[in-house]
Chain A
């Protein structure tokens, strides 16, 4: 059972455009939603994260929008740059003593110059 569904699988955006990646989750026990960025040959790195008590969080050009009732959240990359070309993973975390992250399948973003 895939608990975190991510789309699209790949995305091509022109420089300066907006990149939007969507995720949906099923388990309402999730209470932490991070996005990770992974470059080829590197491990994932935390980009931005949100808790379900807020609907939006912005850090620089990166924004998470969160819809608790729809169980969906999305990453928006404003003014996309070629250096943003990477694979992006959404994840969902469940707190408590058995804390773990469940990752989506990833989105390969290509930003053309």
Chain B
């Protein structure tokens, strides 16, 4: 069974430019998470999807960040415009359903560098 797929793995952009990250969760997983991981820190939840619905986006900086999960499968996270402080690893995770009984499977992440 394939794991969570993310692309690109690395991205370098100049500040004020837009950037997008793509995630393909494990087949059949209805719940999808986007996390932000700064260097030397643990992952921090940005947004959680249940199928197509964003059920928790309270930590998503909506002035510059947006996300979508069309058809309840793949998801895209976008930043426009990027700032220097956005340099981090963006992790996608999925689980069959939300809840502690369901393990979250993480992808390898996209490392973003904003110059």
By a beta-carbon cutoff of 8 Å, the part of chain A in contact with chain B is: 4, 6, 31-32, 34, 41-46, 49, 51, 89, 91, 93, 95, 98-101, 103-106
- Asked whether B100 lies within 8 Å of A32 as measured between CB atoms, the reply is yes
Chain A residues lying within 8 Å of B44, measured Cβ to Cβ, are: 103
Task: List which B23-76 residues lie within 8 A (CB) of chain A.
Answer: 40-45, 48, 56
- Asked whether B100 lies within 8 Å of A105 as measured between CB atoms, the reply is no
- Asked whether B48 lies within 8 Å of A45 as measured between CB atoms, the reply is no
- Asked whether A105 lies within 8 Å of B43 as measured between CB atoms, the reply is no
- Cβ-closest chain A residue relative to B91: A43
CB distance from B110 to the nearest CB of A (A): 11
Chain B residues lying within 8 Å of A101, measured Cβ to Cβ, are: 43, 45, 104
Total A-B pairs, Cβ < 8 A? 49
- Asked whether A105 lies within 8 Å of B41 as measured between CB atoms, the reply is yes
In the complex, per-residue mask of B87-99: 1 if CB is within 8 Å of any chain A CB, else 0: 0000101000011
Given contacts A31-B100, A106-B40, contact A100 B45 (CB under 8 A): yes
Given contacts A31-B100, A98-B56, contact A106 B42 (CB under 8 A): yes
Given contacts A43-B106, A98-B56, contact A103 B99 (CB under 8 A): no
Task: Say yes or no for B4: interface residue by CB 8 A criterion.
Answer: yes
CB distance from A83 to the nearest CB of B (A): 19
User: Which of A41, A49, A100, A104 meets B56, CB within 8 Å?
Assistant: A100
CB distance from B24 to the nearest CB of A (A): 14
- Cβ-closest chain A residue relative to B106: A43
Given contacts A32-B100, A99-B98, A100-B45, contact A45 B56 (CB under 8 A): no
- Asked whether A89 lies within 8 Å of B104 as measured between CB atoms, the reply is no
User: Which of A51, A95, A99, A105 meets B40, CB within 8 Å?
Assistant: A105
- Asked whether A43 lies within 8 Å of B107 as measured between CB atoms, the reply is yes
Chain A residues lying within 8 Å of B109, measured Cβ to Cβ, are: 43
- Asked whether A41 lies within 8 Å of B108 as measured between CB atoms, the reply is yes
- Cβ-closest chain A residue relative to B103: A46
A43–B107 CA distance with the chains assembled, in angstroms: 5
